[in-house]
Structure 1
Amino acid sequence: MKIHPSHLLLLVLVHLLTLSPLRAQEDSWHSLFNGKDLSGWKELNGAHVWEVKDGMIVGRTVPGQPNGFLCTEQEFGDFVLELEVSVDTLMNNSGIQFRSQSYPEYRNGRVHGYQMEVDPKPQQWSGAIYEEGADRGWIYPPEKMNEAAKTAFKRDDKDGYQWNHYRIEAVGPIIRTWVNGVPVAHLVDDRFLKGFIGLQLHANNENDPQGSFSIRFRNIRIQKGSLDLTPLEDRVPVVNLLASSNTSARPDNPTFLRIEQDLDASSIAVYSENKSHPILTQSAKPDERPYLHPILAPDGNGELTEYRPAHHPHQTGIYWGLKRVNERDYFMNWDRDYWRRVSASVLKDSGEKVNWQTVYEMLDENGKTLMVETQTWSLQAFADRYVLDLEWQGEAKMDVVMGKFYVGGLFVRMPWVPETVGEIVSASGHEGMELEGQRAIWSDIGIKLDGREDFARIAILDHPDNAAFPTPWRVDSQMGLGPSRQILGDWALAAGESETIRYRLVIYTGAEDKAMLTEVWKDFFGRE
């Protein structure tokens, strides 16, 4: 289908006008409170008073009772939560529980999990994150808050209730909070990936004013599915608590690598030290989409990529292909009517890290250049793994819209037949096909190749600077895997604009090594 230029420009303008990070897809919001009664909620721990009044949930403390919580009966994993809160200034504090748990085996059902602070005290800690009922206490501590965050919360005054708008974004290990539109916390942590949401009534301590105090909540709503997350902000410090390991992100003794380019064969081959067979080969033919294949396991036992299998003949090892670029399909089509090589060059041909680059024109139906795609690759090899980085850049030569689709972008095809034993795991806790369409900062494919007793693995790590981070994942029934921004909806580039997307791939063998991947991701992230 052809798009008239005037219609395409309108699509681009509409897209650019709707890129606000706080834009909500109204039809995907779900109310957690009906404004009439406490259906869907239950009280846990303390015996306080909870009631519905004038469209609000009102909680009132009962002296002598411990912390109490009004909790959703439903559990949530990845979500955006918004609500409004007003609290008596004499109350000790309160909080919004999320991804929280309660079961008899843990301290007689003690509510525990993440809590976004509601603090009416002059210390101004609202929006920080506390681990309620567990061992770590402040996990996004108040001292990390900047001045704008500390002054965002409005205390009740002589004029009555002062409503504060709270927002929590939780996707995989990425957790962010806002108070009245001001960003407060940015936490990276994976202790709790799913749980209920709760409203806290905090017991006053011995030195606090004594009596019965109230807190009010209203307009409680949640968004799941295609989440519209807010980009990172440099002024909000990141606290990264992902589990560390004894495995270094940069192990000792990287292998010396060398590149040999064969201009006749249109290939770039990477060799390890003095070995005669390449560990990785880049195909870069003049009129065919570039791809990586084969890639050998770090111990040399088996090829980890597959070339055009019968079940998906368009899939070629590790490759990049966008869907619906002005309604043209560059994911399934790889030949001369769609692609034209500009260059394939070696940037660094030897050392502990080698680099190379391919530049291709993506052609429209008339043979004109729609976009120029540049892939810059770098590789390091160690005794137990390869670390392969991709920086993809797309430069639009005319206005383009990448249409919403369930796949499009980087994709990995490992060998698969119906008898294949394998697994797909992710940082978000999703496994196999349940990862389809879900966000995660990394995902890991493990397959048992012929001749191996253990798994051969390729993990893909997302980068926080990518516009869709954490990016949703496409998973097919033959264990093909790739991150895809297009799952979230249309995105556009005007003529002359470009976009850069970065991924890191870790190629290794054996059992899933979450701790190692966490360390490698933190190194890729570049922040502590």
Structure 2
Amino acid sequence: MQLSSLSGAGALLLALACISSAEAQKTEQVRVVKDPKAKKVDVFVGKQLFTTLLYPDTLEKPVLYPLRAANGTVVTRGFPVAPKPGDPTDHPHHLGLWFNFENVNGLDFWNNSYAIPAEKKSAYGWIKTDRITTTTSGPVGVLAYHANWTNQKNEVLLEETTKYEFSGTDRERTIDRVTTLKANTEVTFTDAKDGLLGLRVAHELQIPSDKDEKFTDDKGNVTVVKAGTDRAANGTYLTSTGKRGNDAWSTRAAWCKVYGKMGPDSISIAILDHPKNPNYPTYWHARGYGLFAANPLGEKVFTNGATAKNLQLKKGESVTFRYRVLIDEGSKTLSTKQLNDAAADFAKKNVAVK
């Protein structure tokens, strides 16, 4: 009735506006392309490369790297694989989007990288992807793989089965990840700071520093960044409970967003926790220098020792973790309402590996 009461020109304008809005949210086709020889899987949304699963054993873990917004902007740090001018060179194990933990039966899976000397490697774990089990293209692209969490003797502590679902529109990219870890022996995840789902954001999305900071490169050289000299960083954090900036670190929330300007656009990266995850809502290991991680198993550190969360699995037992990552670009950042709605939608999803 409202449309019929408009003049012909008004009705046409309204119809065009509706069409434009629908097109703006049109789902793009996703194409998942395997390259077993290179040990990688490319994921395209529409005609654009979105991300690549890299799984050579030289990386110590499988990663999605890099991640791109819908306009092609790379939203993850380039170092150490493809450094960009001005990239910080600290923490060479921070690469793209990954999943591991600092203390599994005493082995550190999180901090392992090429920078660890050979004589110290025995204290570190390795995640070795042995097969890609599913690659499906369509409105939602599916990528699944199997990997083993091993020690340096190649003894398996955990078997990992992970499934990714990728989707996107003209301004948004969505990653749903579900990972099941099955114990091959008795396993304890001892409460630790560094875990579990990690993301290293682009330099521009770091929080501007108000004090001198030190960064160490892959050769041990220390670079001092003076306060006020870094003109690129302009990001900040926001959680579902309203914590902002560096105050997001160590707090619990259903989601956390990092956002800032990259070029002319506002870029948002949000990680959503799932109510079925252990110790929901997760703690956020969100650092101003660019580490953005959800860690439900760091309670002892994040509560200053008040409580702890040690996860134990007997041989044959398993645990599943589910996360959604949203990458958005445009003139405005994702609102709290949009993220609450997205979290509610994700909470209703029956996400499973198989």
For the aligned pair, the TM-score class normalised by the smaller chain equals 0.7 to 0.9
1:324-365: CA deviation from partner (whole Å, max 9, x where unpaired): 1011110111579623222124331x2100100122111124
Checking the alignment, whether the CA contact within 8 Å between 1:373 and 1:392 is kept in structure 2 is yes
Aligned to 2:68: 296
Aligned to 2:12: none
CA distance, structure 2, for counterparts of residue 346 and residue 444 of structure 1: 30
Residue 286 (structure 1) shift:
4.0
Checking the alignment, whether the CA contact within 8 Å between 2:248 and 2:286 is kept in structure 1 is yes
Aligned to 2:259: 446
> 1:514 aligned to 2:336?
yes
CA distance, structure 2, for counterparts of residue 399 and residue 469 of structure 1: 24
User: Structure 1: any 5+ residue segments left out of the alignment?
Assistant: 1-247
Which amino acid in the other structure matches residue 311 of structure 1?
A: D
Aligned to 2:38: 265
> 1:323 aligned to 2:111?
no
Residue 384 (structure 1) shift:
1.8
Checking the alignment, whether the CA contact within 8 Å between 1:398 and 1:494 is kept in structure 2 is yes
Residue 282 (structure 1) shift:
1.2
1:230-379 correspondence runs (5 A):
252-273=25-46, 275=47, 277-287=48-58, 288-300=60-72, 302-306=73-77, 307-308=79-80, 310-334=89-113, 338-348=126-136, 350-379=137-166
Checking the alignment, whether the CA contact within 8 Å between 2:92 and 2:113 is kept in structure 1 is no
RMSD of aligned C-alpha atoms?
2.1
1:199-255: CA deviation from partner (whole Å, max 9, x where unpaired): xxxxxxxxxxxxxxxxxxxxxxxxxxxxxxxxxxxxxxxxxxxxxxxxx9xx85211
> 1:436 aligned to 2:249?
yes
1:150-172: CA deviation from partner (whole Å, max 9, x where unpaired): xxxxxxxxxxxxxxxxxxxxxxx
> 1:491 aligned to 2:331?
no
Q: So what's the TM-score if we normalise by structure 1?
A: 0.49
1:488-514: CA deviation from partner (whole Å, max 9, x where unpaired): 222111111100010111110232422
CA distance, structure 2, for counterparts of residue 363 and residue 467 of structure 1: 23
Aligned to 2:277: 466
Equivalenced residue count is: 272
Aligned to 1:384: 171
Which amino acid in the other structure matches residue 477 of structure 1?
A: G
Q: So what's the TM-score if we normalise by structure 2?
A: 0.72
1:268-302: CA deviation from partner (whole Å, max 9, x where unpaired): 111133x2x411211122453110111221122x1
CA distance, structure 2, for counterparts of residue 264 and residue 456 of structure 1: 34
SS at match of 2:298: helix
User: Structure 2: any 5+ residue segments left out of the alignment?
Assistant: 1-20, 81-87, 115-120, 207-229, 300-308, 350-354
Checking the alignment, whether the CA contact within 8 Å between 1:298 and 1:508 is kept in structure 2 is yes
Aligned to 2:10: none
CA distance, structure 1, for counterparts of residue 334 and residue 44 of structure 2: 26
CA distance, structure 2, for counterparts of residue 339 and residue 262 of structure 1: 19
Which amino acid in the other structure matches residue 275 of structure 2?
A: P
CA distance, structure 1, for counterparts of residue 254 and residue 237 of structure 2: 14
CA distance, structure 2, for counterparts of residue 406 and residue 378 of structure 1: 28
Which amino acid in the other structure matches residue 68 of structure 2?
A: L
Structure 1 stretches (4+) deviating beyond 4 angstroms? Answer: 334-337
SS at match of 2:338: helix
**Greater relative CO, 1 or 2 (CA 8 Å, sep 6+):** 2
> 1:525 aligned to 2:347?
yes
1:66-85 correspondence runs (5 A):
none
Checking the alignment, whether the CA contact within 8 Å between 2:132 and 2:146 is kept in structure 1 is yes
After alignment, is 259-268 or 409-418 more displaced? Answer: 409-418
Aligned to 1:394: 181
After alignment, is 435-444 or 472-481 more displaced? Answer: 472-481
Checking the alignment, whether the CA contact within 8 Å between 1:454 and 1:511 is kept in structure 2 is no
Residue 455 (structure 1) shift:
2.5
Percentage of identical aligned residues: 24
1:399-426: CA deviation from partner (whole Å, max 9, x where unpaired): 1111111221101111127441101111
